[in-house]
Structure 1
Amino acid sequence: MSLRERVARNLRRLRQEKSISQEELAHRAQINRNYVGMVEREEYSISVDKLEKLADALGVDPAEFFRSEA
C-alpha cells in the first residue's frame, strides 16, 4: 500500500469514527471541503501542514494518518 493510500484510508476511517462529514471536517480544519474528498480519494497528496490541521480538527495525533491497518 502506498503512503498516499494509507493516509487516505486513515483519514476516512478517523472521520467516520467521529461521525463527521467531509464538509464539517473541512470547516473545523479551515480547508476546502472538496480538498478533503480529493485526499480521501487519493487524488491529492496532502501537505504536512494540512495533515496537522486535520489531526487537530479530529482530535488525534497526526501520526494516526500513517498507522498501518490492523
Structure 2
Amino acid sequence: MFACRPRDFRTREVRGADRLLSPGRVMAIENEIRRLRFENGEMTQQALAESVGVTRQTIIAIEQNKYAPSLEAAFKIANAFGVPLESVFRWRNG
C-alpha cells in the first residue's frame, strides 16, 4: 500500500510556493516595478513578463509584493529596464 501524507491546505503546492506569502504577511522587500514600467513607455505587465520569461500573473504578484522573485528573475527584471538591481528592489527596514 502507498502511504499518503496529509495535505497542508495552508500552503499552495505549486512551483515556487516557498516564495508565496501567506495572507496578511508583509514582504520586507519593496519594488519599483510599476513606476519603472510607466517610465519606460508604459510597458505592459505582459511585455515585461515575456522579457523576463514568466507569466503576467507572476509579474502582477511581484509588483503587488505578494510574491518574492527568484534572484534570476529579479536580475532579469532589472535588465529589462536597463537599471541596476537596487533601482528595482530594496529592503525595507523595520
Kindly report the root-mean-square deviation, in angstroms, between the aligned alpha carbons of the 2 structures. 2.1
Q: Point out 4+ residue stretches in structure 1 off by more than 6 angstroms.
A: none
Instruction: State TM-score, norm by structure 2.
Output: 0.60
Residue 63 (structure 1) aligned with residue 86 (structure 2): yes
Q: Decide which structure has greater strand share.
A: 2
Q: What pairs up with 1:1-70 in 2 under 5 angstroms?
A: 3-4=28-29, 6-7=30-31, 10-18=32-40, 19-65=42-88, 66=90
Q: Which has the higher contact order (CA 8 A, sep 6+)?
A: 1
CA positional deviation for 1:25: 0.6
Consecutive unaligned residues of structure 2, counting only runs of 5 or more, are 1-26
> Would the aligned equivalents of 2:52 and 2:76 in 1 still touch at CA under 8 Å?
yes
**For each residue in 1:35-58, what CA deviation from the matched residue of structure 2 results, as whole angstroms up to 9, or x when unmatched?**
000111111112221110111111
CA positional deviation for 1:67: 8.3
Count residues in correspondence: 65
Consecutive unaligned residues of structure 1, counting only runs of 5 or more, are none
Q: Which entry has the higher C-alpha Rg, 1 or 2?
A: 2
Q: Decide which structure has greater helix share.
A: 1
Instruction: State TM-score, norm by structure 1.
Output: 0.77
